[in-house]
Amino acid sequence: MTEPGAQSVESGAHAEVEGLIDNLFRRSAGQIVAYLTRLLGPENLELAEESVQEALIKALQGWPYSGVPNNPGGWLFQVAKNTALDAVRRNSNFASKHPEIVAELDRKAASTDHVDAHLEEQLRDDELRMLFMCCHPALSPNLSVPLSLKIVGGFGVGEITRALLSNETTIAQRLVRAKRQIRESNISLELPSGRDLSQRLDAVLEVVYLIFNEGYAAFSGENLIRSELCFEAMRLGKLVADSSLGSPKVHALLSLMAFQAARLPARVDSEGNMVLLEYQDRQLWDRQLVAFAFRELEQSAEGDEITSYHVQAALASVHAHGEDEASTDWVTILSLYDQLIALAPSPIVALNRAVAVAKVHGPEQAMREIDEVVDQGALKSYYLLHAVRGRLLRQMGKAADAAANFRSALECPCSEPERKFLQKLLADCEEGA
Partner 1 sequence: MPKFMILIYETDATSGKLGPEKQKAVLDKYAEWNKSLRDKGVFTGSERLSSAGRVLRKADQKLRIHDGPYAESKEVFGGYWAIEVGSFEEAVECCRNSPHLDYGGTLEIREITTCPVN
Partner 2 sequence: MAKFLLLLYDNPADWQTFSPEEMQQAIGKYMGWAQKLAQKGILVGSDKLQDNGRVVRKSANQVRVSDGPYAESKEVFGGYFAIEVKDYDAAVAECRDCPHLDYGGTIEVRQVDVIPGR
Chosen residue from 11, 20, 43, 78 binding partner 1 by CB under 8 A: 78
159 binds, among partner 2, partner 1, none (CB under 5 to 8 A by kind): partner 2
How far is it, in rounded angstroms, from Cα 297 to Cα 260? 13
Specify which residues 268 forms β-bridges with: 274
- The distance of closest approach from Cβ of residue 224 to partner 2 in the complex, given in angstroms and rounded to an integer, is 11
Instruction: Select 68 or 384, whichever has its Cβ closest to partner 2.
Output: 68
How far is it, in rounded angstroms, from Cα 299 to Cα 356? 27
Give the closest residue to 38 by CA, choosing from 128, 168, 160, 143. Answer: 128
Instruction: Select 64 or 413, whichever has its Cβ closest to partner 2.
Output: 64
- Per-residue contact string for residues 128-157; x = within reach of partner 2 by CB under 8 A: --------------------------xxxx
CA dihedral 405, 410, 415, 419 (to 10 degrees): 90
Q: Could you say whether residue 24 binds partner 1 (CB under 8 A)? A: no
Q: Could you say whether residue 25 binds partner 1 (CB under 8 A)? A: no
- The distance of closest approach from Cβ of residue 24 to partner 1 in the complex, given in angstroms and rounded to an integer, is 15
Q: Could you say whether residue 62 binds partner 1 (CB under 8 A)? A: yes
Instruction: Select 31 or 317, whichever has its Cβ closest to partner 2.
Output: 31
Q: Could you say whether residue 75 binds partner 1 (CB under 8 A)? A: yes
Specify which residues 124 forms β-bridges with: none
Q: Could you say whether residue 69 binds partner 1 (CB under 8 A)? A: yes
- Per-residue contact string for residues 57-76; x = within reach of partner 2 by CB under 8 A: x-xxxxxxxxxx--------
How far is it, in rounded angstroms, from Cα 18 to Cα 320? 36
- The distance of closest approach from Cβ of residue 55 to partner 2 in the complex, given in angstroms and rounded to an integer, is 10
Residue 292 CB: number of other CB atoms within 10 A?
26
Q: Could you say whether residue 107 binds partner 1 (CB under 8 A)? A: no
9 binds, among partner 1, partner 2, none (CB under 5 to 8 A by kind): none
Instruction: Select 26 or 238, whichever has its Cβ closest to partner 2.
Output: 26
How far is it, in rounded angstroms, from Cα 390 to Cα 397? 11
Q: Could you say whether residue 79 binds partner 1 (CB under 8 A)? A: yes
Residue 381 CB: number of other CB atoms within 10 A?
12
Report which residue type is found at 321.
H
- The distance of closest approach from Cβ of residue 99 to partner 2 in the complex, given in angstroms and rounded to an integer, is 27
| Residue 47 three-state SS | helix
How far is it, in rounded angstroms, from Cα 170 to Cα 209? 22
SS3 content of the chain, % helix, strand, coil (to 5): 75, 0, 25
322 binds, among partner 2, partner 1, none (CB under 5 to 8 A by kind): none
Q: Could you say whether residue 46 binds partner 2 (CB under 8 A)? A: no
Binding residues for partner 1 restricted to 117-136, rule: CB under 8 A: none
Q: Could you say whether residue 66 binds partner 1 (CB under 8 A)? A: yes
- The distance of closest approach from Cβ of residue 222 to partner 2 in the complex, given in angstroms and rounded to an integer, is 18
Residues ≥6 apart with Cβ < 8 Å to 155: 26, 149, 163, 225, 232
- The distance of closest approach from Cβ of residue 106 to partner 1 in the complex, given in angstroms and rounded to an integer, is 13
How far is it, in rounded angstroms, from Cα 291 to Cα 8? 12
How far is it, in rounded angstroms, from Cα 391 to Cα 377? 20
Residue 357: C-alpha distances to residues 262, 334, 342 (Å)? 26, 7, 16
In contact, 230 and 216? CB cutoff 8 Å: yes
- The distance of closest approach from Cβ of residue 168 to partner 2 in the complex, given in angstroms and rounded to an integer, is 11
Q: Could you say whether residue 28 binds partner 2 (CB under 8 A)? A: yes
- Binding segment (CB under 8 A) for partner 1, from list 40-48, 59-67, 193-201, 234-242: 59-67
How far is it, in rounded angstroms, from Cα 168 to Cα 60? 25
- The distance of closest approach from Cβ of residue 114 to partner 1 in the complex, given in angstroms and rounded to an integer, is 12
Specify which residues 411 forms β-bridges with: none
Q: Could you say whether residue 45 binds partner 1 (CB under 8 A)? A: no
| First-to-last C-alpha distance (Å) of the chain | 59
Contacting residues toward partner 1, per CB under 8 A? 62, 65-66, 69-70, 75, 78-79, 82, 108-109, 111-112
Contacting residues toward partner 2, per CB under 8 A? 15-18, 20, 23-26, 28-29, 53, 56-57, 59-68, 154-159
